Structure formats: structure tokens, C-alpha cells
Amino acid sequence: MSLSVKLNDIINEMEIQSNDHSYYLNKKTGEIVMVTDEHFSLADDSEDISHYSDWEQEAIRVAINVLESEENFIPLPSKFDIHEYQIMEDFCLSLDDENLRGKMYRSVKGSGAFRRFKDSIFEYGIEKNWFQHRREAFKRIAVDWCEGNDIPYTEE
């Protein structure tokens, strides 16, 4: 692949992942595309798509393209590659204030850890630190992904 991708584009897509869609890098164009599970299902059906709205027809065509040209598409890191819980735990352990470090570390233990953690970062006024830490962790994952797939990237 001679095109380079912007790390920020990869990171931005990683940050908004959900359970019902996936992102892919088109190795030929450098474009990142999103495909929902529903559009993959419709693409597999091989039925006439003309009765769908224009935007949905386009989304189905993208899904068909991904399915028919798998060699041209690489899935971006998924939530299973990201391990957000580990990122939260690492953040807690990185805090300089020993008292705060202990409180934050306890917040990520047990049921409801994500909610408690989110509440705690705002309660202690460290949300900016968290979002910066999280962004840097995502950047490391994106760089590793690019390098592991021989994808040139820029840090613009």
C-alpha cells in the first residue's frame, strides 16, 4: 500500500465503535468505511436493493464491496483489540497522588466498574487527564495495527 493513512482517522473510528458495526480500511484508496451488521446481512441476501433509500443502497454497496473484495479491506482494531478496562486500570495506577490512585483503582473493581470509573474521574476533576491517557493508548494501538499490517501512516 503506497497511500498513507492518518492516525487520527483510525483513532477517531476506534473511539466510536459499537456492537452493531465495524470499520475497515480500504488498502487501495486509504478510505475507512463503516459497515453495519444489518448491511452485511442485506449484502449477503443477493436481493434487489432498489427499494431502499439512496443512502442505504450506498451502504449496502459498501458492504457488498467489503465482502467481495476482502483482500482489499483490513478491519480496524475492534473493541476486543482495545481492552478499555486495562486502559482504565493503567490510568488509575499512573496517578501520582497515592490516595487518589487507590480510590480510582478501587473504582474499577467489581460489577459496575465502568460507571464508577466515569463518575469518579468527574468527581475528582481528572477527566481531561483520563481522556488524554485514553487517546494516547488508542494511538499506541493504532500505530501497532498500522505497523503490523504494513500500512504507512501520518500523525496529522
Residue pLDDT, tens place only, 82-100: 899 999 999 999 999 999 9
Among 37-46, 120-129, 136-145, name the one with the lowest average pLDDT: 37-46
CA-nearest of 6, 142, 43, 1 to 35 is 43
Contact between 74 and 149 under an 8 Å Cβ cutoff? The reply is yes
Asked if residue 95 and residue 72 are part of one domain, the reply reads: no
- Domain limits at 41? 18-77
Q: Identify the pLDDT of residue 2.
A: 58
Q: Identify the pLDDT of residue 91.
A: 97
Asked if residue 85 and residue 49 are part of one domain, the reply reads: no
8-64 pLDDT, tens digit per residue, is 999 999 988 888 888 999 998 889 999 988 888 888 876 778 888 899 888 888 888
Q: End of a domain among 33, 48, 77? A: 77
Asked if residue 138 and residue 95 are part of one domain, the reply reads: yes
Q: Please check whether residue 154 lies inside any domain of the structure.
A: no
The Cβ of residue 79 has, within 10 Å, a number of other Cβ atoms equal to 11
The domain total for the chain is: 2
CA-nearest of 93, 98, 99 to 130 is 93
Q: Identify the pLDDT of residue 79.
A: 82
Asked if residue 131 and residue 100 are part of one domain, the reply reads: yes
Q: Please check whether residue 11 lies inside any domain of the structure.
A: no
Asked if residue 122 and residue 70 are part of one domain, the reply reads: no
Average pLDDT, the chain: 90
Asked if residue 84 and residue 142 are part of one domain, the reply reads: yes
Asked if residue 99 and residue 49 are part of one domain, the reply reads: no
pLDDT at 78 over 90: no
Burial of 94 (0-12, 13-18, 19+ CB in 10 A): exposed
For the entire predicted model, the pTM comes to 0.85
Q: Identify the pLDDT of residue 37.
A: 84
Asked if residue 88 and residue 63 are part of one domain, the reply reads: no
Q: End of a domain among 77, 107, 124? A: 77
Asked if residue 141 and residue 85 are part of one domain, the reply reads: yes
Residue 125 Ramachandran class (φ > 0 left, ψ -120 to 50 alpha, else beta): left
Asked if residue 136 and residue 85 are part of one domain, the reply reads: yes
Q: Please check whether residue 39 lies inside any domain of the structure.
A: yes
Tell me which DSSP letter residue 81 carries. H
Place of cell 442485506: 42
- End-to-end distance of the chain based on CA atoms, in angstroms? 19
